[in-house]
Amino acid sequence: MAMGNTTKTFMFMAAMVALFMVVGQALGGRQGMMAALVMAVAMNFFAYWFSDSLALRMNGAVEIAYQDAPDLYQLISSLASRAGLPMPKVCVVDSDTPNAFATGRDPDHAAVAVTTGLIRLMNRDELAGVIAHELGHIKNRDILISSISATMAGAISYLATMAQWSMLFGGRSQDGEGGGNPLAAIISMIVAPVAASLIQMAISRSREYQADATGAAICGSPRSLAQALGNLENYNRQLPMAVNPASAQMYIVNPLAGGQLASLFSTHPPIQERIQRLLAMGGR
């Protein structure tokens, strides 16, 4: 499992480098492609080492001490011990909407973040199921790719902005290739974010199913996690969170409001499918 997710991480990073280079070529010819390559490599390096702290900052997650929430600490400590994991950092996001995410490059540098709404609205079994799901991400070692994808998706949005400015003010590159091409800029503005979303979606959907299964095994109650997912989905539809879209895929359920079209590009698998799989595990 860990090796498979490590491979996926490097495949994702390589795909993002290729996407950066294609956009750079479209905007600035050979020089633009090389500049994009340098930018992509730098972003990957930054994302590997610092994406966890950036993800926490992007989502307003604040680390808390044991005395701030002893019950929460004890629950996380107990579940982490059951999963054979070191105690992660515990962070809280000030939001009435119940949700949670995990981040970090490995189990020794991991953090679990929960919203104040999650603590207030979930019963203990549901809270245990949600936290176990996040510990499942840590155990499966897929939190790195989640953090990297959030960072890189933000960078892709920046590239789209560059394309917009290039269309308005760009001139041709010195090698006469592609720079300032309005058609190339328009295509880049549309294709780059969509491509980044599709790459995220392909990786993130499978990791949610894996984390559900691992989390159910950790907490010992697939039904509790299934019930929590159903409640979380309802709450997040009624009261969407104001989060950066690039980091939405990190949460246990989609924190953003979206219509039918948006759901086609969602990085989260359908909640009902996740619930059915969990209930089937409970039946076994």
249: pLDDT confidence band, cut at 50, 70 and 90? confident
pLDDT of residue 261: 39
Residue 168 vs residue 18, higher pLDDT: 18
Residue 72 vs residue 188, higher pLDDT: 72
Q: For 101, phi and psi rounded to 5 degrees?
A: -155, 165
Once rounded to an integer, what is the mean pLDDT over residues 245-250?
A: 80
Instruction: Using the structure block, give the residue that is written with the tokens 């105690």.
Output: 87
Residue 269 vs residue 15, higher pLDDT: 269
Note the pLDDT tens digit of each residue in 44-53: 777 777 778 8
Which of 126, 134, 208, 233 is catalytic? The answer is 134
Residue 75 vs residue 202, higher pLDDT: 75
Instruction: Using the structure block, give the residue that is written with the tokens 């020089």.
Output: 31
Note the pLDDT tens digit of each residue in 88-138: 999 999 999 999 999 988 899 999 999 999 999 999 999 999 999 999 999
Single-letter amino acid, residue 3: M
Lowest mean pLDDT among 31-45, 47-61, 98-112, 186-200: 186-200
Q: What's the pTM value of the predicted model, to 2 decimals?
A: 0.76
Residue 247 has pLDDT above 60, yes or no: yes
Lowest mean pLDDT among 94-98, 144-148, 270-274: 144-148
Residue 40 vs residue 187, higher pLDDT: 40
DSSP 112-160: EEEEHHHHHHS-HHHHHHHHHHHHHHHHTT-HHHHHHHHHHHHHHHHHH
Q: How far is CA 195 from CA 188, 244, 269, 274, in A?
A: 10, 18, 18, 25
Region of residue 83 (left: phi > 0; alpha: psi -120 to 50; beta: else): alpha
Residue 64 vs residue 193, higher pLDDT: 64
Do residues 105 and 173 lie in contact, with contact meaning Cβ atoms separated by under 8 Å? Answer: no
Residue 208 is a catalytic residue:
no
pLDDT of residue 206: 76
pLDDT of residue 156: 66
15: pLDDT confidence band, cut at 50, 70 and 90? confident
- Residues 6 or more apart from 281 whose CB is under 8 A from it? 213, 216, 222
pLDDT of residue 233: 94
Q: Compute the mean pLDDT over every residue in the chain, rounded to the nearest whole number.
A: 80
**CA-wise closest residue to 110 among 53, 65, 67:** 53
pLDDT of residue 69: 96
